[in-house]
Amino acid sequence: MKLAVVGATGLVGSEILEVLDEHNFPYDELLLVASERSVGKQIEYKGKKHTVIGLADAVAAKPEIAIFSAGGSTSLEWAPKFAEVGTFVIDNSSAWRMDPSKKLVVPEINAKEITPNDKIIANPNCSTIQMVLALEPLRQRYGIKRIVVSTYQSVTGTGKAAVDQMMAERSGEANPPMVYPHKIDMNVLPHIDVFQPNGYTKEEMKMINETKKIFSDNTVQVTSTTVRIPTMGGHSEAVNVEFKQDFDLAEVRSLLENAPGVIVQDDPTNFVYPMPITSHKKDEVFVGRLRRDESQPNTLNMWIVADNLRKGAATNAVQIAEYLLENKLV
């Protein structure tokens, strides 16, 4: 089987390669694919040197699976070309997420919806993935009426240039290259992606719209504020969720402890709660600070943390690829 990683030289691309190795993903031939400026570059992976190839050559090779992490414009242009030659494309960009003809997949929730005809499969937004994964077992039990989420997102979500800006500022560099409109180190920016006419950012609207699509439920009300903070380990979220039915806190904890891909860290008396620094390089979603909202009925407060480059991107994509293999779709 041929496997292509498109955008192999980027932050998420590098993480995809790491996850493939850790998961012992089976393939016969690995194609590392990137933009023209990276073609010919050598990448050492699992003790072997691989030469980066261009997109046209990758399409011609007809891989069975291509995991894309190369940006929306690249995906819009090239994903259909791979699909035409029979490749399953798993795309990390926002290009196909809200296309009604494309599946938006978190494997633990809705991988069963994938059919042999779904040649382009969308990977959800990083902040959406970790939230819906933690909420899914509770949604199944109590039903969800409304979600209020505030995020605290790592600079790694923007990419290497953002990490470089933060570290340059931290080291006292006079004129660091600016990715953000303001300094990020020792600061907080209530601004992720582009502002929309309704006053929300594109990131906030992604969380709202993608949550409804993944849950296949347009009645779920979602409101979001997304914030960039100067951390690198992962994304954090304060989530306030109103259920359709009342809940028992002990049962909530049990449901989460038994949910695939979720780890409960909820012992505040011993200062145990999820943090980006401890989620770094982990595939799971971590949940803690579980407590009843005492201001209104049927409502829970929870704190959700995950490595945004892992379950928020690379791990979720690799899990989709694993599902395709396990269910003999390729």
Active site residues: 126, 235
> Which contacts of 40-45 are long-range, i.e. CB under 8 A and separated by 24 or more positions?
41/9, 43/8, 43/9, 45/17, 45/21
Under a CB-based contact definition with an 8 Å cutoff, are residues 70 and 10 in contact?
Answer: yes
Ordered DSSP codes for 276-298 = HHHHTT--SEEEEEEEE-TTSTT
* DSSP H stretches of helix in the chain: 11-22, 55-60, 72-84, 107-110, 126-142, 160-170, 202-215, 249-257, 276-279, 315-326
**Using CA atoms in the order 125, 130, 131, 133, what is the torsion angle rounded to 10 degrees?**
110
